[in-house]
Amino acid sequence: MSRQHTLTALRELKLDGMADALERQHASPSLQDSPFDERLAVLVDSERVTRENRRLARLLKQARLKVEACAEDIDYRVGRGIDKQQVQGLLACDWITQHQNLIITGPTGVGKTWLACALAHQAARRGMPVVYRRLPRLLEELEIAREAGNLTTVRTQLARMKLLVLDDWGVNPLGRRARQDLLEVIDDRVGSGSVAITSQLPITEWHAYLGEPTIADAILDRLVHSAHRIQLQGESMRKLKSKTANRRS
């Protein structure tokens, strides 16, 4: 079998990682002198990495994270309220496989959304389907789905996600139907998925925010008791970046 025929066959089989590695080997005479087993191992490893990168790209496209954030860029500076040991534990993603939740609170601009997206990105790296939504937008989507007659389909899609990031919890008041929709979305995840919430509201004010006591009790019972908590503090990260930019200019 000719070299080009082999490359064509690999690409037809969608083994592009192996094909790319084989082309690199052909372009490097020194690699061609390596033992067959070593060369084959390089081809297999290249295919594995290619597939992992494709899967990650697919998961991140599906996730629609608000910001590009990753574990390597987490700012552990003193005064932010970030416990490095706690965050490193969360990055292992065991809390997601154990269907636990995460609550990140703090004033505006301190990096709640960024940290939640970094943790979601890490989960995607581990092959877990994740999705990001601002809570007001999610409730709008559910209302639109109800009117279109496909509410069950949308809820089923959300339930399949291993991690649901709900950003801006407590920003807008909730109506009766919105409270019920929120309860249903959260209840769908009990024992099967995790929720990460970011909020300016302290947890002690959530019951009042949710309004109707019975539904509030049900939502908080499903969310809070199995939740890890991070209380961020300090100056707005956006202000700090603005100050740094001004000093450089």
Identify whether 248 is part of a domain.
Answer: no
CA 159 to chain centre: 15
121 domain residue, yes or no: yes
**Pair 23, 84 in one domain:** no
User: pLDDT tens digits for the chain (249 residues)?
Assistant: 566 767 677 676 677 766 676 677 676 766 666 776 666 677 677 667 667 778 878 989 999 999 999 999 998 887 788 999 999 999 999 999 999 999 999 999 899 999 999 999 999 999 999 999 999 999 999 999 999 999 999 999 999 999 999 999 999 999 999 999 999 999 999 999 999 999 999 999 999 999 999 999 999 999 998 899 999 987 766 655 554 444 444
Give the distance, in angstroms, between the CA of residue 132 and the centroid of all CA atoms in the same chain: 7
Instruction: Tell me, yes or no, whether 35 and 89 share the same domain.
Output: no
The Cα 243–Cα 38 span in angstroms is 52
What's the number of domains the chain is made of? 2
Task: Provide the token pair at 153.
Answer: 């389909």
Domain span at 136: 65-242
My answer on whether 100 and 205 are in the same domain is yes
Single residue among 62, 85, 109 that ends a domain in this structure = 62
Instruction: Please report whether residue 168 resides in a domain.
Output: yes
**Which of residues 14, 39, 62 is at a domain's end?**
62
pLDDT at position 3 is 67
Say which CATH number the domain at 223 has: 3.40.50.300
The verdict on 30 and 105 lying in the same domain is: no
Q: Are residues 88 and 137 in the same domain?
A: yes
Per-residue pLDDT, 240: 54
Backbone angles phi, psi at 75, to 5 degrees: -90, 110
pLDDT of amino acid 215: 95
Instruction: Flag whether 30 is in a domain.
Output: yes
DSSP for 39-101 reads HHHHHHHHHHHHHHHHHHHHHHHHHT-SS---GGG----TTS---HHHHHHHHTTHHHHTT-E
Are residues 238 and 119 part of one domain? yes
Q: Identify whether 208 is part of a domain.
A: yes
What pLDDT score was predicted for residue 24? 76
Note the pTM of the prediction, 2 decimals: 0.80
Are both 122 and 225 inside the same structural domain?
A: yes
Among candidate residues 44, 62, 80, the one where a domain is terminated: 62
Same domain, 15 and 107: no
Whether 131 and 55 share a structural domain? no
Q: Is residue 178 situated within a structural domain?
A: yes
**Residues 6+ positions from 235 with CB-CB distance below 8 Å:** 109, 110
